[in-house]
Amino acid sequence: MCVRMTGETLVPDSISNPIRTGFHPDPSICRVGEDY
């Protein structure tokens, strides 16, 4: 992210979106039978 100083105010030049598109399940969740 780039930040530009304008007097005393910080003005972001761009904002990066941390949300990823698509289906990304949590790989740490494991199911064995009825147990997780």
Q: Give the pLDDT confidence of 14-24 residue by residue, as tens digits.
A: 777 777 777 76
Contacts of 32 (CB under 8 A, 6+ apart): none
The overall average pLDDT reported for the chain is 71
pLDDT value for 8: 61
Closest CA to 15 of 6, 30, 33, 3: 3
Token pair, residue 6, equals: 């304008």
What would the mean pLDDT of 6-35 be, rounded to a whole number?
A: 73
What would the mean pLDDT of 20-31 be, rounded to a whole number?
A: 73
Banded model confidence at residue 30, pLDDT cuts 50, 70, 90 = confident
